[in-house]
Amino acid sequence: QLQASGGGLVQTGGSLRLSCAASGRTFSNYAMGWFRQAAGKEREFVAAIMWGGSDTIYTASVKGRFTISKDIPKNTVYLQMTSLKPEDTAVYSCAASSRQYDNKSRPTAYDYWGQGTLVTVSS
């Protein structure tokens, strides 16, 4: 129901835009998040957007470089990534949360997960 795409290989300083297309249900009342997991490391929160509004949150390491946005008619969430660094290399996954009061930086707040898309940043 969540399909992530847009990953690839990019050089340091480059940009990529990830997409997360939702299908099978309307996610109009869900918050949407992006997480990433690098090889040998735990899954890490990246960014989230509250579907009903414009509120967004980011992990500190991507603030000012990444932008999360949504296209409601397309039922799609985007993660625009700029000034990419080798440490951004990871599998990026999107998720949807129906839990209004849960901390959206925690994986436990999310009900649905998409498969990941690999982002590799070369030095």
Confidence at residue 61, expressed as pLDDT on a 0 to 100 scale: 97
| Per-state percent for the chain, helix, strand, coil, to nearest 5 | 5, 50, 45
Confidence at residue 72, expressed as pLDDT on a 0 to 100 scale: 84
d(CA 119, CA 5): 10
Q: 53: which residues sit within 8 A by CB, 6+ positions away? A: none
pLDDT tens track, the chain, 123 positions: 899 999 999 999 999 999 999 888 777 788 999 999 999 999 999 999 987 767 999 999 999 999 999 988 888 999 999 999 999 999 999 999 998 889 999 999 999 999 999 999 999
